[in-house]
């Protein structure tokens, strides 16, 4: 996008959202990096290694649609602030649970933290609100790229905790979680600097981008009604939901199992954290070019690319024991997820009114969260029974479903968005 074509207020809010995404991302990375290891530490075995990731996504499943309703009714700022308060509370509880070696308290803290992570997804919604359809995915890319700082900051936070923990007489993992509020408090302050609320910008988008072509009246490419049942009955929306379900489920399963596999092969925590950080780089580091391509070649093409990359990366993770090949595989899984996240979010935003967009994206997050609940829990017993190659078979089978559906989807470059 040309800098001159973007109003100053939009640029300012985009920078605030990207900065907030960066700070929130550092805390969010703690679960895939430390989740399986904390469960092993508290229970003494790996049979429930995927439990932390599944609990995170149970909370995300439960909170996504209600938070979308709050965002549609009261504005995006309140919904984002709610998420950060919950994340702050959950991180403190998790740190105390590790200190006290209490698995029930750990479960409580992980559920609270998951509620916060799910509510913080409204950052993505706010980004979609700021831009018209012609550059919406690229706008999403700017904000989601902020999570790249989270990928770099996660290992730094863990390293700081490891260095300071002996002097404070704390477990390094516990201290890492107790440091997360230091990042979340500035995030809340940034959110309250956002004026006007992105919901209001979306409802008056022509006031901010007067040179854009007027969005066409609602037609057959947009749902005629709102609500979960109407969205599920609408084919383009259903394709977006299914693509997100598959990409999120496969990504969380591979993300939960890869650190455990690396630890099994004798790699130290900093190297495991590096692999997860590179995976998160794949998830968010290419968001901007992916968003640019999504606006240029269409939502469908990028969704198809995401399915292919996720499947190929899942196979690479399990066919070798070499550290860098496994890491490359999990990076490709992250890039595939990024394609599905950016293109799917943009497609849903294209087809919905700003007054219902929060609930529509909340429905998408709820359904993708359902995949994230089941597949990580399935991964542990599956690896114990059949080994890592079984994960690739499951991943490719699940990803084949959206690929078949995408073949029927029309060219998303010609789909007309709903008029506010």
Residue 417 confidence (pLDDT): 44
Is residue 415 domain-resident? Answer: no
Contact yes or no for 184/84 (Cβ under 8 A): yes
Contact yes or no for 215/132 (Cβ under 8 A): yes
Contact yes or no for 317/330 (Cβ under 8 A): yes
169 or 406, which is more confident? Answer: 406
DSSP 116-143: HHHHTTHHHHHHHHTS-GGGHHHHHHHH
Contact yes or no for 311/192 (Cβ under 8 A): no
Q: What is the DSSP letter of 3?
A: G
Distance CA 145, CA 6 (A): 18
Contact yes or no for 313/254 (Cβ under 8 A): yes
Sign of the C-alpha dihedral computed for residues 203, 207, 208 and 214 taken in this order: positive
Q: What is the DSSP letter of 353?
A: -
User: What's the average model confidence in pLDDT over 185-213?
Assistant: 88
Range of the domain at 231: 7-207+219-408
**What's the total number of domains in the chain?**
1
CATH of the domain at 286: 1.20.1250.20
Q: What is the pLDDT of residues 380-396, one digit of tens each?
A: 677 677 777 788 888 99
Global confidence as pTM: 0.85
Is residue 82 domain-resident? Answer: yes
Q: How many CB atoms lie within 10 A of CB 15?
A: 14
Is residue 212 domain-resident? Answer: no
C-alpha to C-alpha distances, 1 to 6, 220, 287, 288, 341, nearest whole angstrom:
8, 29, 14, 11, 20
Q: What is the pLDDT of residues 205-247, one digit of tens each?
A: 988 988 765 554 344 456 666 788 899 999 999 999 999 999 9
Is residue 213 domain-resident? Answer: no
For residue 250, give the 3-state DSSP assignment. helix
Q: How many CB atoms lie within 10 A of CB 98?
A: 24
Residues sharing a CB contact under 8 Å with residue 23, sequence separation 6 or more, in sequence order: 149, 150, 183, 184, 186, 187, 190
Residue 189 burial class via C-beta count within 10 angstroms: exposed 0-12, middle 13-18, buried 19 and up: exposed
223 or 195, which is more confident? Answer: 195
DSSP 26-69: HHHTHHHHHHHHHHHHHHSSSTTTTHHHHHHHHHHHHHHHHHHH
Q: What is the pLDDT of residues 263-320, one digit of tens each?
A: 766 767 677 778 877 887 898 889 999 999 999 999 999 999 999 999 999 998 888 7
Tokens representing residue 341 in the block: 């996240």
Residue 268 burial class via C-beta count within 10 angstroms: exposed 0-12, middle 13-18, buried 19 and up: exposed
């Amino acid at each position: 996008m040309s800098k001159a074509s973007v109003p100053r207020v939009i640029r300012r809010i985009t920078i605030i959202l990207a900065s907030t995404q960066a700070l929130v991302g550092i805390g969010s990375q703690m679960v895939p990096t430390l989740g399986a290891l904390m469960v092993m530490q508290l229970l003494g075995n790996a049979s429930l290694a995927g439990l932390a990731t599944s609990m995170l996504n149970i909370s995300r499943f439960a909170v996504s649609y209600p938070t979308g309703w709050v965002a549609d009714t009261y504005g995006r700022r309140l919904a984002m602030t709610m998420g950060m308060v919950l994340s702050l509370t959950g991180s403190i509880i998790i740190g105390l649970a590790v200190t006290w070696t209490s698995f029930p308290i750990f479960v409580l803290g992980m559920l609270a933290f998951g509620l916060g992570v799910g509510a913080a997804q409204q950052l993505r919604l706010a980004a979609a609100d700021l831009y018209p359809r012609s550059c919406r995915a690229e706008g999403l890319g700017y904000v989601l790229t902020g999570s790249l700082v989270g990928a770099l900051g996660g290992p730094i936070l863990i390293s700081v905790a490891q260095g300071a923990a002996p002097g404070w007489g704390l477990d390094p993992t516990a201290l890492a979680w107790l440091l997360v509020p230091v990042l979340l408090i500035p995030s809340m302050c940034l959110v309250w600097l956002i004026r006007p609320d992105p919901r209001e910008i979306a409802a008056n988008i022509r006031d901010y981008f007067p040179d854009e072509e007027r969005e066409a009246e609602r037609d057959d490419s947009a749902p005629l009604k709102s609500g979960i049942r109407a969205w599920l009955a609408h084919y383009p929306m259903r394709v977006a939901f299914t693509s997100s379900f598959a990409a999120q489920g496969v990504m969380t399963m591979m993300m939960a199992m890869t650190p455990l596999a690396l630890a099994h092969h004798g790699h130290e925590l900093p190297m495991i954290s590096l692999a997860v950080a590179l995976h998160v780089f794949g998830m968010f580091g290419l968001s901007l070019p992916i968003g640019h391509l999504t606006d240029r070649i269409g939502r469908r093409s990028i969704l198809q690319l995401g399915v292919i990359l996720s499947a190929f990366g899942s196979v690479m993770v399990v066919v070798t024991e070499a550290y860098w090949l496994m890491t490359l595989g999990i990076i490709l899984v992250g890039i595939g997820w990024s394609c599905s996240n950016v293109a799917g979010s943009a497609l849903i935003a294209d087809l919905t009114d700003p007054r219902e967009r929060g609930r529509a994206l909340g429905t998408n997050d709820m359904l993708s969260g359902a995949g994230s609940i089941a597949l990580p829990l399935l991964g542990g017993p599956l690896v114990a029974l059949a080994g890592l190659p079984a994960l690739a078979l499951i991943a490719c089978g699940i990803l084949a479903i959206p690929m078949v559906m995408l073949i029927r989807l029309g060219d998303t470059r010609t789909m007309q968005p709903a008029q506010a």
